[in-house]
Amino acid sequence: MTSKLDGGGAEAGCEKCGLQHGGRGAPRVLKSSGFTLIELLMVIAVIAVLAALILTGIVAAKKRVQQAQCAHNVRQLGLAVQIFATDNHVYPLAANPSIFKGGYSEHNGAWMTALEGVLARRDPIHPSPTNSLLQGIWLCPSASRPSSFPDFYLYLSYGYNEYGLSTRATSLGLGGQNVWLGGPDGSAPPVSDSEVINPSQLMLLGDGFEGGKGIIKDGLSILRRNDGTQDYLGSTARAVGRHKQKANVVFCDGHLEAPTLKYLFEENSDAALARWNRDNRAHRELLTP
């Protein structure tokens, strides 16, 4: 006995099997409107890839912003040194213990506090004092203090080219005539601005690194090439990661560069070596063999 058709041949559902039978009795499976498991997994995979790409882009953008902020800080500190040199016709001393006896009072106790004196005068480059050597333009946003550092260890962002390629018999940087010898007057007397032979090629200050032969120490108040440098609690990895294997450096004429760490601490060409020394000479005889 044939089933009754609705509307002269329309298909009717079977209550027992859940199938629809055509007018000729051939069963047909109903189409599902949902995702199959494979399709769902594919969608999840695509979303994961897109999320990873977006996250990578965000991290890269953050790094670029941080490097730009650090470059701004370094440039402003360089301008402060230029103001100091214009006012006093000398560069800040690396250290000045004679301040307690009234000696070289314009240098305060060291180069950083000397610059704080400039910044606190409300010069146009910095409308208000920073009140701290660990805040404001003294702090690189990519240089967080490592949690493993002992409490007594001061972690600084920026360093001064105090030494050049100096040894205990020479003084080639900007920190003073006797930066190696020290003594009761520290590194005094200061370096005259006329002693800088090529201001556009002499590095002034930048990220606080000391490095040589692939090893870098960070968190320092100096910018120095030293082949005897030793890693400190993972300092080389931190330095490499700070600005993608580069450092922000301002020169005595005020221009800014971002040389690679390899160029700073391993390049042995005359041009690269001369950039450390105020007499604009390579002094490769001072390199460690």
Calpha distance 250→76 (Å, rounded): 9
Please, which pLDDT band fits residue 43 given cuts at 50, 70 and 90? confident
- Rounded distance, CA 161 to CA 180, Å? 13
Q: What is the CA radius of gyration of the chain?
A: 33
User: How much is the pLDDT for 7?
Assistant: 46
DSSP H or E stretch at residue 79: helix 37-88
Residue range 114-121: mean pLDDT, rounded: 86
> What is the structure's pLDDT at 51?
77
- Give the pLDDT confidence of 132-174 residue by residue, as tens digits: 667 789 999 999 899 999 988 899 999 999 999 998 888 999 9
Considering only CA atoms, which of 210, 208, 195 is closest in space to residue 160?
208
22 vs 49: CA distance, rounded Å:
46
**If you average pLDDT over every residue of the chain, what do you get?**
85
Residue 18: pLDDT over 90: no
The lowest-confidence range among 101-105, 168-172, 202-206 is: 168-172
Angle 11-14-15 from CA coordinates, rounded to 5°: 140
Domain ranges of the chain: 40-286
Q: What is the mean pLDDT of residues 84-103?
A: 95
Alpha-carbon distance of 238 to 119, in angstroms, equals 29
pLDDT(127) > 50: no
* pTM of the predicted structure, to 2 decimals: 0.77
Q: Please state, in angstroms and rounded to a whole number, the distance separating the CA atoms of residues 50 and 38.
A: 19
CB contact at 8 A, 18 and 32: no
Residue 27: pLDDT over 70: no
Integer angstrom CA distances of residue 50 from 35, 37, 143, 257: 20, 20, 29, 35
Q: Please say whether the beta carbons of 235 and 208 come within 8 A.
A: no
